[in-house]
Amino acid sequence: MKISCEEASHICTKSQYKEASFWEILKLRIHILYCKACAKYSKQNGTLTSLCDKAELNVLSEEDKECMKKDLEKRL
């Protein structure tokens, strides 16, 4: 059940977007018990997520992105 630091960072990112499974989160938690670097990364990632949530960031809709892309293509 041991995972690499690379896999731990991947699971951490998936967890941030609520895409990680129960087993992945369990493996990540076990990993960060003995890996201080990943524990620090996970904590910083959580802080970043929290700050982004508090900032109430807005993103463009897919439709708006497509319109911008077409407009840029016309200009080129």
Cα 3 from Cα 42, distance rounded (Å): 15
* pTM metric for this prediction: 0.69
What residues make up the domain containing 13? 5-75
Tell me the per-residue pLDDT of 49-74, one tens digit each, with 9 for 90 and over.
899 888 988 888 999 999 999 999 99
DSSP 58: -
As given in the structure block, the two tokens for residue 73 are 């293509």
CB crowding 29-64: b at 16 or more within 10 Å, else e: eebbeebeebeebbeebeeeeeeeeeeeeeeeeeee
Q: Is 3 exposed, middle or buried (0-12, 13-18, 19+ CB in 10 A)?
A: middle
Q: What residues contact residue 41 under an 8 Å CB cut-off, 6+ apart? A: 8, 9, 12
Residue 14 has pLDDT above 90, yes or no: yes
Number of domains the chain is built from: 1
Instruction: Say which range, 5-19, 29-43, 51-65, has the weakest mean pLDDT.
Output: 51-65
Percentage of residues of the chain with pLDDT beyond 70? 100
